[in-house]
């Protein structure tokens, strides 16, 4: 019976619609993430084109606000999160020696919620009065003023959250129950570890966001006043609840990228990871701390002194485990025998940009000076250094690292290097000057600015167009790699170590139907 079922391979559209195969679903997630990255990237170009010079040239301020809002939502919920879930789907079963995810039908469902959620989110822009324009943080009372587009967004966030929670349950069930005999928790690859911790973060954080969003919906339509001072509510309550989700969310985006770096750097340094145990503990500490630092996003709301101090100290503490991770990566490279294929470039680039973002994060943690940085371009520079610099670089690193395994073909190394360097340089031109803009006093989320900010904004705009243009190279490279190219070996890279590299390239549709033994 089972064999008969497994032999059934629908083709065409129904293969993708009904699939319960982790590899197919992983591919769906990755393709979806890429499409959303294009959509979000084009929105960022609208923003940057408007900011090319002072005055209004491209779009009116209301539409500009919709672009900043939807760009962020699309990139976070549509690109970065599904991208990493795609990697988890492809890699976790192959890395722990499991035949598939623990809950394959739910896996199908958690993916197929996403396209509908995304359509709802984008459709909001075409509603009367436009889409959400209150920033991705959706602070009331401003978000209470939005039209029906805002309701589309709120429902879309509910759906995206459901998808993430289902995906996380699946990942936890898979990792805890389906490891090959002999693979104890402390023998798991770092990517699996970081995803296990990330999945717990998601399960703890997403329902909190769902609660906040529900309260906002009832405030908007059912006469409650959770966030309306005139009805006895408190607008700042939203911020507390939102950031209780929002700060762990930052680590949800970045921890799997840390896992990717921890796989790639040992491979190309031809050494084992310097401190495996301390990396696991550091990841867990970061995850724990992420739940007790949320109010550092809100230093200017007027908290009591005890709160300001507690959140400052707790936030600064995150620098310790984060430092442990960076030092570990560098010690792994130290006295290795390094080569610099494209995945290694992305990983080193990611560690580099992430560390800059981490250091500016430390500056932002310090309450008194944050009063000057808060809501300026310094913050915009900071979070792009961590989210683009770590998460997106991590995604690209992972795709280059594993795409030969997935497709059975090597990608074009020259094109890959061009893609990396153009992105790295474009990224730096875009976001490095934004530090200066913020320090000099340019607030974020403005469509027009005072004359002294012109030059650095022009750098930023040039960099943004360059960065987005470079992604077409990646698209071309990925398609070419899927269609053909030189044959990849099973091991793919000289320094690889792990169960996925014992499979053929590409792996069979159903891999590890017999569990491997791990020594």
Q: Of 113-142, which residues contact other proteins (CB under 8 A)? A: 128-130, 133-135, 139, 141-142
Closest approach of Cβ 295 to other proteins, in Å? 13
CA 12 from chain centre, in angstroms, equals 30
Q: Is 237 in the site for other proteins (CB under 8 A)?
A: no
Kindly tell me which of 177 and 372 has the beta carbon lying closer to other proteins: 372
Q: Which is nearer to other proteins, 236 or 469 (CB)?
A: 236
From residue 70, give the alpha-carbon distance in Å to each of 46, 130, 209, 509: 12, 11, 17, 37
The dihedral region occupied by 441, where left means phi > 0, alpha psi between -120 and 50, and beta the remainder, is left
Measured CA distances, 387 to 79, 258, 332, 442 (Å): 11, 12, 24, 21
Alpha carbons 386 and 350: distance in angstroms, whole number: 9
Which range of residues in 84-92, 112-120, 316-324, 474-482 is near other proteins by CB under 8 A? 316-324
Nearer to other proteins, 104 or 307 (CB): 307
φ and ψ at 340, to 5 degrees? Answer: -125, 60
Compute the least distance from the CB of residue 480 to other proteins, in Å: 27
Active-site entry in 68, 150, 262, 283: 262
Kindly state the smallest distance separating residue 426's Cβ from other proteins, in Å. 16
3-state secondary structure of 146: coil
Find the binding residues for other proteins in span 387-426 (CB under 8 A).
none
Under 8 Å CB-to-CB from 209, ≥6 apart: which residues?
A: 157, 161, 242, 245, 246, 249
Catalytic residue among 22, 23, 179, 247: 247
Query: What is the rounded CA–CA span in Å between residue 436 and residue 455?
Result: 11
Shortest separation between residue 264's beta carbon and other proteins, angstroms: 14
Q: Known catalytic residue: 23?
A: no
Confirm whether 296 is a catalytic residue.
Answer: yes
**For other proteins, the closer CB: 56 or 119:** 56
Q: Is 335 a catalytic residue?
A: no
Q: Which of 351, 395, 397, 398 contacts other proteins by CB under 8 A? A: 351
- Candidate segments 186-194, 201-209, 444-452, 465-473, binder of other proteins by CB under 8 A: 444-452
- Which entry of 163, 283, 290, 391 is annotated as an active-site residue? 163
User: How many residues does this entry show for the chain?
Assistant: 519
Is 105 annotated in the active site?
no
Identify whether 243 is a catalytic site residue: no
Known active-site residue 322: yes
- Is 360 among the residues known to form the active site? no
71 catalytic residue (yes or no): yes
**Residue whose structure tokens are 């959620």:** 117
Nearer to other proteins, 145 or 177 (CB): 145
- Number of residues this chain uses to bind other proteins (CB under 8 A): 106
Question: Is the Cβ of residue 115 or residue 323 nearer to other proteins in the bound state?
Answer: 323
| Other C-beta atoms lying within 10 Å of the C-beta of residue 310 | 16
Which SS3 state, helix, strand or coil, does residue 405 take?
A: helix
Tokens of 198: 């990330």
Q: Which of 288, 371, 421, 472 binds other proteins (CB under 8 A)?
A: 371
Q: Which stretch binds other proteins (CB under 8 A): 37-45, 289-297, 456-464, 472-480?
A: 456-464
Q: What is the CA radius of gyration of the chain?
A: 23
- Minimum CB distance to other proteins smaller for 346 or for 406: 346
Q: How far apart are CA 375 and CA 381, in angstroms?
A: 11
In the complex, the smallest distance separating the C-beta of residue 120 from other proteins, rounded to whole angstroms, is: 19
For other proteins, the binding residue among 19, 156, 367, 391 (CB under 8 A) is 367
At 423, list the tokens: 């992105």
Residue with tokens 């739940």: 291
Catalytic residue among 23, 179, 296, 382: 296
Furthest-apart CA atoms within the chain: distance in Å: 73
Q: Are 173 and 103 in contact, with CB atoms under 8 Å apart?
A: yes
CB of 427 to other proteins, least distance (A): 16
Residue 122 has which token pair? 């984008």
- Residue 212: CB minimum distance to other proteins, A: 16
> Do 385 and 359 touch, CB atoms closer than 8 A?
no
Judge whether 402 counts as a catalytic residue. no
In angstroms, rounded to a whole number, what is the distance separating the alpha carbons of residues 261 and 448?
38
Nearer to other proteins, 1 or 186 (CB): 186
Of 360 and 412, which CB lies nearer to other proteins in the complex structure?
360
Catalytic residue chosen out of the listed positions 251, 346, 402, 411: 251
Residue 511 annotated in active site? no
- Helix H segments across 222-272? 235-269
Mask: binding to other proteins, 30-69, rule CB under 8 A, as x and -? --------------------x---xxxxxxxxxx-x----
Q: Which of 116, 119, 229, 475 binds other proteins (CB under 8 A)?
A: 229
Catalytic residue among 29, 90, 136, 400: 136
Residues 274-313 touching other proteins, rule: CB under 8 A, are 274-278, 300-302, 305, 308-309, 312-313
The interface region with other proteins, picked from 4-12, 250-258, 350-358, 392-400 by CB under 8 A, is 350-358
> What is the nearest approach in angstroms of other proteins to the Cβ of residue 470?
21
Among 334, 472, 475, 509, binds other proteins (CB under 8 A): 334
Taking the C-alpha atoms of residue 128 and residue 224, their distance in angstroms, rounded to an integer, is 24
Cα–Cα dist 258/283, whole Å: 9
Q: What angle do CA 133, 439, 378 make, to 5 degrees?
A: 45
d(CA 277, CA 420): 31
Q: What is the dihedral of CA 370, 375, 377, 380, to 10 degrees?
A: 100
- Residues annotated as catalytic are 71, 100, 136, 163-164, 247, 249, 251, 262, 296-297, 322, 325, 444
């Amino acid at each position: 019976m089972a064999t008969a079922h497994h032999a059934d391979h629908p083709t065409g559209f129904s293969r993708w619609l009904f699939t319960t195969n982790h590899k197919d679903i992983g591919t769906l997630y990755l393709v979806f993430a890429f499409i959303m990255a294009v959509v979000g990237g084009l929105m960022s170009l609208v923003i940057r084109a408007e900011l090319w010079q002072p005055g209004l040239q491209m779009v009116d301020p209301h539409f500009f606000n919709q672009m900043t809002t939807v760009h962020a939502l699309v990139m976070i919920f549509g690109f970065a999160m599904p991208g990493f879930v795609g990697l988890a789907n492809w890699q976790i079963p192959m890395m722990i020696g499991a035949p598939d995810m623990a809950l394959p039908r739910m896996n199908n469902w958690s993916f197929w919620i996403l396209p509908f959620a995304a359509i709802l989110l984008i459709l909001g822009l075409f509603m009367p009065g436009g889409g959400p324009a209150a920033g991705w943080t959706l602070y009331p009372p401003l978000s209470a003023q939005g039209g029906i587009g805002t309701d589309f967004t709120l429902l879309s966030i509910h759906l995206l959250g459901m998808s993430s929670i289902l995906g996380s349950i699946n990942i936890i069930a898979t990792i805890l129950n389906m490891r090959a005999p002999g693979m104890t928790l402390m023998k798991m690859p770092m990517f699996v570890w970081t995803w296990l911790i990330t999945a717990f973060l998601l399960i703890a954080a997403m329902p909190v966001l769902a609660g906040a969003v529900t309260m906002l919906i009832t405030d908007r339509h059912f006469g409650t006043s959770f966030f309306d001072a005139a009805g006895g509510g408190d607008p700042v309550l939203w911020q507390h609840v939102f950031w209780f989700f929002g700060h762990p969310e930052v680590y949800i985006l970045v921890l799997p990228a840390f896992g990717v770096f921890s796989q790639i750097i040992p491979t190309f340094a031809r050494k084992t990871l310097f401190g495996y145990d301390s990396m696991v503990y550091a990841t867990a500490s970061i995850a724990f701390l992420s739940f007790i630092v949320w109010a550092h996003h809100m230093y200017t709301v007027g908290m009591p002194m005890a709160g300001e101090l507690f959140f400052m100290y707790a936030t600064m503490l995150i620098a310790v485990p984060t430092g442990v991770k960076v030092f570990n990566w560098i010690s792994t490279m130290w006295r290795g025998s390094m080569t610099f294929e494209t995945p290694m470039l992305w990983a080193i680039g990611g560690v580099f940009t992430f560390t800059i973002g981490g250091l500016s994060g430390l500056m932002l943690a310090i309450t008194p000076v944050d009063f000057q940085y808060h809501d300026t371009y310094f913050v915009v520079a900071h979070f792009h250094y961590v989210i683009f610099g770590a998460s997106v670089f991590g995604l690209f690193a992972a795709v280059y690292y594993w795409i030969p395994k997935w497709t059975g073909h090597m990608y074009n190394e020259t094109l890959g290097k061009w893609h990396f360097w153009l992105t790295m340089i474009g990224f730096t031109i875009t976001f490095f000057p934004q530090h200066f803009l913020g320090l000099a006093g340019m607030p974020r989320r403005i469509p027009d600015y005072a004359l002294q900010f012109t030059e650095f904004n022009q750098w930023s705009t040039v960099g943004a167009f360059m960065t987005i243009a470079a992604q077409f190279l990646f698209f071309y490279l990925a398609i070419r790699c899927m269609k053909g190219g030189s044959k990849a070996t099973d091991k793919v890279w000289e320094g690889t170590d792990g169960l996925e590299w014992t499979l053929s390239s590409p792996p069979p549709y159903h891999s590890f139907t017999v569990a491997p033994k791990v020594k």
